[in-house]
Structure 1
Amino acid sequence: MEEEQNTVSPSRTSTEQIQQDTAKLPHQYGCEHYRRRCKIRAPCCNQIFSCRHCHNEATVTSSLLYYFHYFFLFFPLGHFFFFLCVSQSSLSNPKDRHEIVRHDIKQVICSVCNTEQEVAQVCNKCGVKMGEYFCDICKFYDDDTSKQHFHCDGCGICRLGGREKFFHCEKCGSCYVIEMRGNHSCVENSMKDYCPICYEYLFDSVKQATVMKCGHTMHMDCFREMAKQQQYRCPLCSKTVIDTADYWKLLDEEIEAVQMPEQYQDEVSILCNDCNSTSKVAFHIVGHKCKQCASYNTRRIAGTGS
């Protein structure tokens, strides 16, 4: 099959020798993102890069340097506006930041013989495999097959981890681990959004993402950092996203131990962020417990009074 794709078919001996030689030096080719034996020509700017991530990092950095010089020259508070631009660049749509569209890649350059050619797994001149894993749809190459790449037709891109371990949720618009089939709250296109912590686009991020109990998503690292800061609510919907049973019990004990002065013993109206119910409870400086679901994830919606 591979030989049929070659426009020039080298001898079996020379092809095998090239593959054996390149296999001995697995880190000679590629970049910090992927091990591969080819580079890509970006269709958006016609420049050559090792991979799409190298392209995106270079173009975003160039844009930020432009804003850096501009604001420092013309604004006394240039440093403030520079950091504002950094933040806004993360919030923008990937295409607006001059990010490469992987499916539009048409030309690649073999790193072994330096021949530019149309996208294919095997070089049409020297016959070397430019990537042990190859996706003709995503124009993607990678020698590290331990990542267990697979192409998801629903997502339209390649994923990692093994096809048998994931399923595609049509409503959420992304692949989730099998254990989550029928066991998660669906939010339409929840992955086609930005991480509420770092504002990086989640759908094609190389960082691992997690689905919270409420159905919203964020990077796993961001979720862990949020938990370290004792933030237990989803930044988007304010629902509780971690197990707070022990914390609620601690608040129960503290409220029982601390009696409010008589002048503060009025009732307040509260809204529960977890079950969306309203109720009237005794005011307490520590917190207000929902009468429906016993959650302390509540907020006052009216002043004191019966």
Structure 2
Amino acid sequence: MEAEGVNLAVEKTLNRDDNNISREDFDKSLHGCEHYKRRCKLRAPCCDRVFTCRHCHNEATSSLSNPKERHEFVRHEVKQVVCAICDTEQQVSNLCSNCGVKFGEYFCDICKFYDDDITKGQFHCSDCGICRVGGRENYFHCPKCGSCYSIGLRNNHLCVEDSMKGHCPICYEFLFDSTKETTILKCGHTMHVECYKEMFDQNQYRCPICFKSVLNMSRTWERLDQEIEATAMPEEYRYEVQILCNDCNNTSKAFFHIFGHKCQHCNSYNTRVITNGENHQR
């Protein structure tokens, strides 16, 4: 009876003289959650509960007090959806079998993904096996890295095998199916763009994973040359130390200085002392 009442309400709205909305577009973009605008909910195959999207599910289950009960939503395994208009549960499709409403302007039958906001430029990448946003024409799939990247990075990045099949080194969110934009560092490691900017705001210019410089630091190294030349160390601190360069991975020797130690191979100051202070010769 409830579904019939909803259908009557839909019909009444659609039959108004001033209304030119089709049945499929009824209540478009008026339903959903903070993550997606859609006119259906998903029955989670893992716990048999109903959620608007996988993110809503994962947020709810990740906060469970019992760690053994925490789990993630597997989007490809969804079999049933619930219409947000008439509350009819049915098999996965993009049209309600009862009231005829379209569940999402964008629909992927592989990912069981619905979204009324098509300005995101959603597309399904068969190589990734999931839907992505940003417009297919703006992205390419890198088979070695195992993910889609901005077209500007085609033939212009260092490949690291399955680099996206890990977690962002700043916020630790899994990168492969993250909804946030990602970027590739010079070293080939990947992180969220917003985390990359946050790292810069904290005056950190090294990859958190391999410690290589993420920018051209030559001007900074030149300033350090000048500062070190202008600041002599006391006699008791004038000794050589062995250093390892994070940028070129070579070892060399440099005179100890509080401002830094210059690599003799690539002139980088992105180095670390690898000899114990007790072993130096004064």
Q: TM-score, normalised by structure 2?
A: 0.87
Name the aligned partner's letter for residue 142 of structure 1: D
**Counterpart secondary structure, 1:176:** strand
Spell out the pairing of 1:10-25 with structure 2 (5 A cutoff): 17-23=22-28
Per the alignment, in what secondary structure is the counterpart of residue 23 of structure 2? Answer: helix
Q: Deviation at 1:19?
A: 3.3
Q: For residues 150-194 of structure 1, what are the alpha-carbon distances to aligned partners after superposition, in whole Å with 9 as ceiling and x for unaligned?
A: 001111100000111111111111100111111111111111101
Deviations 1:135-155 (Å, cap 9, x if unpaired)? Answer: 000000001110000001111
Aligned counterpart for 2:54 among listed residues 48, 52, 58: 52
Cα deviation digits, residues 27-74 of structure 1 (max 9, x gap): x2111111111111000111111111111111112x1xx26xxxxxxx
**One-letter code of the match for 1:262?**
E
What's the CA shift for 1:305?
4.2
Give per-residue Cα distances to partners, 1:188-240, cap 9 Å, x unaligned: 11111011122111111122222111111112222212111111111111111
Instruction: Tell me which amino acid in the other structure corresponds to 1:297.
Output: N
Instruction: Tell me if the contact between 1:271 and 1:279 (Cα under 8 Å) persists in the aligned partners.
Output: yes
Task: Tell me if structure 2 keeps the 8 A contact 1:150–1:163.
Answer: yes
Equivalent residues of 1:186, 1:215 under 8 A apart: yes
Give CA-to-partner distance per residue, 1:110-141, whole Å, 9 cap, x none: 11222111111112222221100000000000
Q: Aligned equivalents of 2:25 and 2:72: distance in 1?
A: 35
Larger % of helix: which? Answer: 1
Residues 271, 299 of structure 1: 8 Å contact kept: yes
Identity %: 60
Uncovered stretches (5+) of structure 1, i.e. residues with no partner: 1-10, 68-88, 90-94
Which amino acid is 2:33 matched to?
Answer: C
Report 1 or 2 for greater relative contact order, CA contacts < 8 Å, sequence distance ≥ 6: 1
Uncovered stretches (5+) of structure 2, i.e. residues with no partner: 1-10
Give the total of aligned pairs.
Answer: 263
Q: Which residue of 2 aligns with 1:144?
A: 117
**Superposition pairs of residues 23-102 of structure 1, within 5 angstroms:** 23=28, 26=29, 28-61=30-63, 63=64, 66=65, 97-102=70-75
Note if 1:233 corresponds to 2:236: no
C-alpha spacing 1:236/1:96, structure 2 compared with 1 (3 Å): farther
Report if the CA contact (8 A) 1:268-1:305 is conserved: no
- Give me the CA root mean square deviation: 2.2
